[in-house]
Amino acid sequence: MQCGWSGARVSSQLVPFTHSSLDALPPEFRRIPPYFYTFNCYAKGRWHGRTILDVFTNEFQAETPEYYRHAITEGLITVNSERVPLDFIIDNNHIILNKVHRHEPPVTNDPLSIVGETPDLLAIDKPASIPVHPCGRYRHNTVQAILGHEHDRWRVYPCHRLDRLTSGLLIFCKNPAMAKQFEQWITQHQVEKQYICRVQGRVEQSVLFCDAPLKICDQRLGLCCVHPEGKASLTRFRVIRRDKDTTVLHCFPKTGRMHQIRVHVQYLGHPIVNDPVYNSELWGPERGRGGALTRSSKIRILARVYRVSGTSVMSLVAGSIHPISPRLRMRMLSELVPAHAGLTPCERSWQIDRQDPAPEAMRIYLHAFRYRGPTFDFQTAMPWWSGEDWPQQLAKRQETY
């Protein structure tokens, strides 16, 4: 695992951004207005002798060939800062610049609060829906950027991972020495991690374990599943409270696999209540209980992952950042068509704008509650959805949207 100290350059690039509209409009969202951003890179060896249109169409499949023709013709894509024709031949010494109109997805406007600090570490309570660092379509709607803009904490870097839809404790290191030390603690299993989740169904046992091995069954999208060839994984669960249809669990993952808690509770037949990926009929009538995953269900699940991740329908038709076969792409697209009704194109970029998601669709009921190590012990408050009155709390939140 990497603790992310190499992110210093990325974080510093965020400093000049001074839009006053970092505040959310409407109030349930933190919204970044679309802005222009220029990527630049030296021509790669494999691009030598190819046309500029061919390179972008085949190497960068997030947009359509029509978009790249438009961008080259209009001077959004240039070579050595000069406009070039569509059939321009790339040489090894060329610098390619790509000016894009970035549309960052909105995130929830829940506050990001600092819950603890030592001379070497900073602990925050991360709201759901916000990615930790710049990635994909997110740049300023990230924890690192918000920490810088709102708390003037530019030189802190994440010590561990936390999924975008997951809320809770996130620890940052303040210097390279602590980054290296924290990585050693994780590797040597010296950090105790505790999570809270609300799962489907009434769990009758007070304590339960899951040691099903986990494998990344689709590397492109980070989709995980139980598999006999997977890595050894172990999670202990303790029931906090039950109601008629759901159970709140205190989770103690002993290993740190991707989506470990989400997949283990699914395997046990009690997926997280509002998990859009692992609590779905797409896994079959048992919703993945026991680890069953067929080829047809995998295709539908991949489409669901694309929908949740905010990938545009244009990129599905033209090709994604990761190569997907045309046959699979068309089947995924057929799954997604109803979800893209009402989309509008951006006049400045030829990109497709998505409608805002419902705020409650931007979180799952999984919360990093406490991390304890050799020199620290941080924890957050319990999440609002873990209490006995959570239906009333949910209704109250929905009234404000």
Would you say residue 338 lies in a domain? no
Is the domain of 19 the same as that of 134? yes
The better pLDDT of the pair 73, 219 is held by: 73
Is the domain of 25 the same as that of 112? yes
CA atoms within 13 A on the CB side of 250: 11
* 188's tokens: 């040597």
Is the domain of 15 the same as that of 155? yes
Residue 313, number of CB atoms within 10 A of its CB: 17
Is the domain of 165 the same as that of 139? yes
Give the integer Cα–Cα distance in Å for 172 and 178. 9
Among 76, 102, 128, the domain boundary falls at: 102
Q: What CATH number does residue 61 fall under?
A: 3.10.290.10
Report whether the peptide linkage leading into residue 127 is cis, meaning its omega lies within 30 degrees of zero. Answer: no
Backbone φ and ψ for 66, nearest 5 degrees, come out as -60, -40
Question: Which of the residues are catalytic?
Answer: 163
Among 77, 102, 127, the domain boundary falls at: 102
pLDDT, mean of residues 143-160: 92
Contact between residue 256 and residue 263 where contact means Cβ atoms under 8 Å apart: no
Would you say residue 177 lies in a domain? yes
Is the domain of 178 the same as that of 136? yes
Is the domain of 15 the same as that of 63? no
Q: What is the largest CA-CA distance in the chain?
A: 68
Backbone φ and ψ for 140, nearest 5 degrees, come out as -95, -25
Q: Is the pLDDT of residue 254 over 50?
A: yes
Contact between residue 35 and residue 102 where contact means Cβ atoms under 8 Å apart: yes
Measure CA 301 to chain center: 16
Is the domain of 49 the same as that of 121? no
Is the domain of 86 the same as that of 113? no
Model confidence pTM above 0.85: no
Q: What CATH number does residue 125 fall under?
A: 3.30.70.580
pLDDT band at residue 366 using 50, 70 and 90 as cut-offs: very high
Domain of 390 in residue numbering reads as 1-31+108-188+373-401
pLDDT value at residue 324: 40
Would you say residue 237 lies in a domain? no
Q: Is the pLDDT of residue 24 over 70?
A: no
Domain total for the chain? 2
Residues 305-332 have pLDDT tens digits of 555 554 433 333 333 333 344 444 444 4
Among 102, 117, 146, the domain boundary falls at: 102
Contact between residue 361 and residue 185 where contact means Cβ atoms under 8 Å apart: no
Residues 34-66 have pLDDT tens digits of 888 898 999 999 999 999 999 999 888 777 888
Would you say residue 75 lies in a domain? yes
